[in-house]
C-alpha cells in the first residue's frame, strides 16, 4: 500500500510572534498564517524550531497550535513539531496529544544525549508506532550534535508511518544517497532555504522553510516551478533570494526572520531568552536587502 504524504511543496516553519511584554501575540500569528497561505504556502509547521517552542509553556503551545489550526481552517495540512530526547516521555506525550486538525508530526533526531544510528532507528520506530498521524523525520546535525545517516533514513523510510524526512544536514552527498535509495513513496524535503532549489533539482519534493514566513510569494513560486519541472524559470528566483536566504541566518534563527518580518509589519522584533534580536548591522542588511530585492 502506498503511503499518503500530504507534505509536498512549501511548508512554512511558523514563527511565534511575541508582544513587547513577551506574551504570545495571537492576532499577529493569525495574520501570518493568512499571509503565508494567500501567497502560496502548501502546508504549515506548528511548534517547529523556528517557533521558539522550548521557551513556551504547555498552555501556550496548545493555544498556538489551536490558533494555527483554526486560522488555517482546512486550507492546508498542518505538521506539528513533536520531538524529544526521552523516547518514553515523547511516546507518552504523543498518546496524550490532541490531533484534531493536525495531519502529521515533525520529529527531530534526539539532541544532547547523542544516540548512535541503532538508537536513532529504535527511537523513531517507537515514535512512528505510537503516532496516529504520519511522521516526518527531522535531521539537523548542527542543532542536535549527531547526524541521521542516509542508510538509517532509508531503513526508517520503510516504516509504513514514516512518510518523509526534513534534511537539514546541508550534505548533498548524503541527501543524494537518500534520494537514490529511498522507497518511491517516501519524500525528501529541504531543511535549508538556501539549497532548496538544488535539492529539488536532485529529486526533493519541497521544503520546510523559514524564509517563507517573511517572503512567501517568491519562495513558493520557486518551489512550485521546481515541482512543475520549470527549472529554468525557478533559477532566477533562487538567485534573487540567495543573499537574503543567507542573511536571515547570519545572526541565528528565528532572530533574522523576525527582524525582516518586523520591518515588513508582520510582527514585533521580540524574542524570548536565550535568543535575542539580531545586531543593528545585520538588521540593517536585512532591511536593505528586503527593500531592494524582495518587497
Residue 60: the pLDDT is 98
Q: Which three cell numbers stand for residue 77?
A: 495540512
Average pLDDT, stretch 12-19? 99
Would you say 98 and 82 are in contact if contact means Cβ atoms under 8 Å apart?
no
d(CA 48, CA 210): 10
Query: Nine-digit cell at 217?
Result: 510569494
The 3-state DSSP class for residue 206 equals strand
- Residues of the chain by 3-state class (helix, strand, coil), percent to 5: 50, 15, 40
Retrieve residue 59's grid coordinates. Answer: 498552555
**Predicted pLDDT at 1:** 82
Running DSSP on this structure, what letter comes out for residue 56?
S
Could you say which of 26, 35, 138, 290 is catalytic?
138
pLDDT-derived band at 222, boundaries 50, 70, 90 = very high
Q: Is 258 among the residues known to form the active site?
A: no
Selected catalytic residue, list 61, 121, 166, 258: 166
pLDDT band at 23; cut points 50, 70, 90: very high
Q: What is the pLDDT of residue 292?
A: 97
pLDDT > 70: percent of the chain? 100
Sequential DSSP letters for 214-271: T-HHHHHHHHHHHHTT-HHHHHHHHHHHHHHHHHTTTT-TTHHHHHHHHHTTSS-S--
Per-residue pLDDT, averaged over 44-48, amounts to: 98
Q: Of 272, 260, 266, 252, give the one whose Cα is nearest residue 33.
A: 266
Using 50, 70 and 90 to split pLDDT, how confident is the model at 2? confident
Write down the residue that cell numbers 512549501 correspond to. Answer: 10
Q: Is 138 a catalytic residue?
A: yes
Per-residue pLDDT at 242 exceeds 90: yes
Q: How many CB atoms lie within 10 A of CB 155?
A: 17
pTM exceeding the 0.95 threshold for the entire prediction = yes
Identify the pLDDT of residue 232.
Answer: 98
Fill in the DSSP letter of residue 76. S
What string of H, E and C letters represents the secondary structure of 130-160? HCCCCEEEEECHHHHCCCCCHHHHHHHCCCC
Helix (H, G, I), strand (E, B) or coil at 103: coil
- Residue 295: pLDDT above 90? no
pLDDT at 4 over 90: no
Q: Are 136 and 7 in contact (CB under 8 A)?
A: yes
Nearest to 263 by CA among 253, 251, 277: 277
pLDDT tens digits along 50-88:
999 999 999 999 999 999 999 999 999 999 999 999 999
* Average pLDDT value over all residues in the chain: 98
Q: CB within 8 A of 95, min separation 6: which ones?
A: 130
Quick: pLDDT tens for 122-143.
Answer: 999 999 999 999 999 999 999 9
Domains in the chain, CATH or no CATH each: 9-228 (3.20.20.70)
State pLDDT tens for residues 172-203: 999 999 999 999 999 999 999 999 999 999 99
Amino acid at each position: 500500500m502506498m503511503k499518503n504524504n500530504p507534505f509536498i511543496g512549501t511548508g512554512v516553519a511558523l514563527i511565534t510572534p511575541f508582544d513587547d511584554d513577551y506574551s504570545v501575540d495571537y492576532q499577529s500569528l493569525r495574520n501570518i498564517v493568512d499571509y503565508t497561505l494567500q501567497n502560496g504556502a502548501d502546508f504549515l509547521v506548528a511548534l517547529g524550531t523556528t517557533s521558539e517552542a522550548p521557551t513556551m509553556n504547555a498552555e501556550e503551545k496548545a493555544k498556538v497550535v489551536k490558533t494555527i489550526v483554526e486560522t488555517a481552517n482546512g486550507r492546508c495540512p498542518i505538521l506539528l513539531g513533536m520531538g524529544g530526547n526521552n523516547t518514553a516521555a515523547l511516546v507518552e506525550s504523543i498518546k496524550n496529544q490532541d490531533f484534531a486538525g493536525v495531519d502529521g508530526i515533525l520529529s527531530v533526531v534526539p539532541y544532547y544525549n547523542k544516540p548512535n544510528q541503532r538508537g536513532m532507528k529504535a527511537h523513531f520506530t517507537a515514535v512512528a508506532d505510537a503516532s496516529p498521524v504520519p511522521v516526518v523525520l527531522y535531521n539537523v546535525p548542527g542543532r542536535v550534535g549527531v547526524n541521521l545517516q542516509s542508510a538509517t533514513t532509508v531503513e526508517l523510510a520503510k516504516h509504513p508511518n514514516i512518510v518523509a524526512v526534513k534534511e537539514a544536514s546541508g550534505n548533498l552527498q548524503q541527501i543524494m544517497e537518500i534520494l537514490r535509495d529511498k522507497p518511491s513513496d517516501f519524500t525528501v524535503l529541504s531543511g535549508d532555504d538556501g539549497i532548496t532549489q538544488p535539492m529539488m533539482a536532485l529529486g526533493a519534493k519541497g521544503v520546510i522553510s523559514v524564509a517563507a514566513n517573511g517572503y512567501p510569494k517568491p519562495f513558493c513560486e520557486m518551489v512550485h516551478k521546481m515541482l512543475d519541472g520549470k527549472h529554468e524559470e525557478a533559477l532566477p528566483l533562487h538567485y534573487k533570494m540567495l543573499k537574503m536566504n543567507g542573511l536571515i541566518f547570519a545572526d541565528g534563527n528565528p532572530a533574522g526572520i523576525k527582524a525582516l518580518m518586523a520591518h515588513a509589519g508582520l510582527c514585533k522584533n521580540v524574542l524570548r531568552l536565550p535568543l535575542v534580536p539580531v545586531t543593528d548591522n545585520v538588521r540593517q542588511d536585512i532591511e536593505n536587502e528586503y527593500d531592494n530585492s524582495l518587497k
